[in-house]
């Protein structure tokens, strides 16, 4: 399990407008590219410095590549990060205000307390 | 020494800016009443005539990230840029620039460290909507210098609720020991029951109206004992998965003081979450 890396993907993609669009249009390709070039970047350091050990599990990679926010919730990705990025990608596809947010919640209706642990 | 002329605790609702400025068909039906309540709340700060604002909030994974996460952080800078790309995108929040009260930041850091809080600091902090929402609601001129204080209510492991209360008490003492004749308001924002990214989000009310009712009672009465006897890091999952933001309200109860009844209390039951507004006047209500 690498909840931290799931969160890092959601965090970095959400905060880059071009990357948000790229992930919307080509999720599997973006996840592959990100894991091979970005996953180990030290965000709080000078450019060029990187870690050496970060990678997704197959389950995590599939959840991201499938835009599967229900699976991400089950895996313990931080719900604020997932929600924020998915609103950015998909709210625009619906005319009614908050339709997407409500649908997003309804898809998670089968989860009961305690929710999956989000501690990293 | 400096005076704490107002203590203010509030929810921070990032949709207020868009709702309050929308016109015509875009203006939601709840906007007019919301603006009326916020305008009345704003008056409670204006009446206190503050010179400086200490602003307690919590970064939402903007500048503070999991590779380097502080529990409590004080900004110490002459200026603070404010609001981020994704807050502009989702909430329509404007970019802002606020002045810093750097000497008070230095005092809070030095004396806070000596009082037992190992505070982190930042000399280049871009603040987010947890602090700009109350600027927009309470001081839209954004003309007063600030000292931002961030708490971690977001990325577990989190500090215990009692630690938030202790920090609030300490902030009050630190401001009152600041050698200055300036008038300081301490403003903090958090949440009542709230769900984000889970099955109970964006309902017709907050996810747990009964928690909200009790929380408002605790805050309005300054009932720290009652609140601390029931609220734990575990218990806060039940009212909603983002309800740990309530600990910023507990911090503000610490600033106001145990048993201190709020001089002003108002709430507004909205979709998704209940708004709640509280003001205390430690020096007595201004004329």
Backbone angles phi, psi at B149, to 5 degrees: -130, 120
**Chain A CA closest to residue B194:** A80
Query: Can you read off the two tokens belonging to residue A32?
Result: 């592959």
Backbone angles phi, psi at B178, to 5 degrees: -75, 120
**Is the residue at A115 inside a domain?**
no
- pLDDT at residue B229, rounded to an integer: 98
Query: Can you read off the two tokens belonging to residue A43?
Result: 């965000």
**Chain A CA closest to residue B61:** A11
Total of domains in chain A: 1
Give me the sign of the Cα torsion angle B7, B53, B10, B121.
Answer: negative
What DSSP element (H or E) covers B38? helix B31-46
For chain A, the straight-line distance linking the first and the last C-alpha, in angstroms and rounded, comes to 10
Place of tokens 């401001």: B175
Backbone angles phi, psi at B217, to 5 degrees: -65, -45
Backbone angles phi, psi at B266, to 5 degrees: -150, 155
Does residue B176 surpass a pLDDT of 70? yes
**d(C-alpha B153, C-alpha B189), whole Å:** 11
Does residue B196 surpass a pLDDT of 90? yes
What is the interface pTM, i.e. ipTM, of the complex?
0.95
Inter-chain touch A80–B242, beta carbons under 8 Å: yes
pLDDT in tens, B72-125: 999 999 999 999 999 999 999 999 999 999 999 999 999 999 999 999 999 999
Query: Out of A4, A73, A120, whose CB is closest to B197?
Result: A73
Cα distances from B172 to residues B195, B249, B253, in angstroms, run: 30, 14, 11
Burial of B12 per CB tally in 10 Å (0-12, 13-18, 19+): buried
Which of chain A's residues have a Cβ under 8 Å away from the Cβ of B273?
A: none
Query: Can you read off the two tokens belonging to residue B63?
Result: 């500048």
Which residues span the domain enclosing A91?
3-106
The torsion region of residue B222 among left (phi > 0), alpha (psi -120 to 50) and beta comes to left
**Is the residue at A54 inside a domain?**
yes
Following DSSP, what letter does each residue of B74-142 receive, concatenated?
EE--SEEEE--HHHHHHH-PPPEEEEB-HHHHHHHHHHHHHTT---EEESS--B-HHHHHHHHHH-TT-
Q: What percentage of residues in chain B have a pLDDT greater than 90?
A: 99
Q: Does B29 touch chain A (CB under 8 A)?
A: no
Burial of B35 per CB tally in 10 Å (0-12, 13-18, 19+): middle
**d(C-alpha B194, C-alpha B243), whole Å:** 5
Q: Do residues B97 and B80 lie in contact, with contact meaning Cβ atoms separated by under 8 Å?
A: yes
**Is the residue at A111 inside a domain?**
no
State chain B's mean pLDDT as an integer. 97
What DSSP element (H or E) covers B150? strand B146-151
Q: Do residues B11 and B192 lie in contact, with contact meaning Cβ atoms separated by under 8 Å?
A: yes
**Chain A CA closest to residue B68:** A44
**Chain A CA closest to residue B26:** A97
Give me the residues of chain A with pLDDT under 70, please: 1
Query: Out of A83, A98, A110, whose CB is closest to B197?
Result: A83
In A30-59, the residues whose Cβ lies within 8 Å of chain B are 42-44
CATH placement of domain B3-280? 3.40.830.10
Backbone angles phi, psi at B95, to 5 degrees: -70, 145
Q: Do residues B152 and B251 lie in contact, with contact meaning Cβ atoms separated by under 8 Å?
A: no
pLDDT in tens, B228-268: 999 999 999 999 999 999 999 999 999 999 999 999 999 99
Determine how many CB atoms are found less than 10 A away from the CB of residue B283.
11
Give the domain ranges of chain B: 3-280
Cα distances from B201 to residues A80, B150, B273, B287, in angstroms, run: 11, 25, 9, 42
**d(C-alpha B159, C-alpha B250), whole Å:** 12
**d(C-alpha B73, C-alpha B71), whole Å:** 7
**d(C-alpha B71, C-alpha B152), whole Å:** 5
- pLDDT at residue B13, rounded to an integer: 94
- pLDDT at residue A19, rounded to an integer: 98
- pLDDT at residue A2, rounded to an integer: 87
Q: Does B200 touch chain A (CB under 8 A)?
A: yes
**Is the residue at A20 inside a domain?**
yes
pLDDT in tens, B111-168: 999 999 999 999 999 999 999 999 999 999 999 999 999 999 999 999 999 999 999 9
Q: Do residues B188 and B8 lie in contact, with contact meaning Cβ atoms separated by under 8 Å?
A: yes
């Amino acid at each position: 399990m690498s909840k931290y890396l799931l969160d890092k993907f959601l965090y970095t993609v959400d905060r880059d407008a071009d990357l948000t669009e790229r992930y919307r249009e080509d999720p599997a390709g973006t996840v592959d590219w990100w894991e091979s070039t970005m996953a180990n970047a030290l965000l709080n350091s000078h450019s060029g410095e990187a870690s050496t050990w970060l990678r997704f599990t197959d389950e995590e990679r599939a959840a991201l590549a499938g835009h599967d926010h229900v699976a991400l919730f089950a895996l313990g990705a931080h719900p604020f990060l997932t929600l924020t990025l998915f609103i950015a990608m998909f709210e625009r596809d619906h005319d009614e205000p908050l339709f997407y947010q409500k649908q997003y919640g309804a898809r998670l209706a089968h989860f009961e307390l305690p929710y999956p642990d989000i501690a990293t | 020494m400096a005076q704490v002329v107002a203590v203010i605790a509030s929810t921070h609702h990032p949709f207020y800016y868009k709702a309050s400025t929308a016109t015509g068909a875009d203006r939601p039906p709840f906007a007019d009443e919301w603006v009326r309540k916020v305008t009345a709340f704003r008056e409670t700060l204006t009446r206190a005539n503050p010179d400086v604002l200490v602003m307690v909030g919590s970064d939402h994974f903007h500048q503070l990230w999991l590779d380097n996460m502080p529990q409590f952080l004080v900004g110490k800078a002459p200026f603070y840029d404010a609001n981020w790309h994704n807050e502009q995108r989702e909430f329509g929040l404007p970019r802002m620039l606020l002045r810093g009260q750097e000497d008070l930041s230095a005092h809070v850091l030095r004396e806070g460290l000596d009082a037992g809080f190992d505070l982190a600091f930042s000399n280049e902090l871009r603040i987010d909507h947890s602090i700009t929402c109350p600027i927009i609601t309470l001081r839209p001129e954004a003309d007063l210098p600030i000292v931002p204080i961030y708490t971690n209510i977001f990325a577990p492991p989190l500090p215990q609720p009692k630690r938030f209360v202790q920090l609030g008490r300490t902030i009050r003492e630190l401001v009152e020991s600041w050698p200055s004749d300036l008038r300081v308001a301490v403003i903090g924002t958090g949440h009542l029951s709230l769900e984000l990214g889970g099955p109970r989000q964006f309902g017709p009310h907050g996810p747990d109206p009964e928690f909200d009712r009790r929380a408002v009672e605790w805050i309005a009465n300054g009932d720290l004992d009652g609140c601390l006897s029931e609220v734990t890091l575990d218990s806060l999952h039940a009212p909603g998965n983002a309800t740990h933001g309530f600990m910023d309200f507990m911090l503000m109860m610490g600033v106001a003081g145990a048993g201190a009844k709020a001089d002003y209390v108002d709430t507004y039951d909205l979709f998704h979450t209940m708004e709640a507004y509280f003001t205390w006047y430690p020096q007595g209500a201004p004329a």
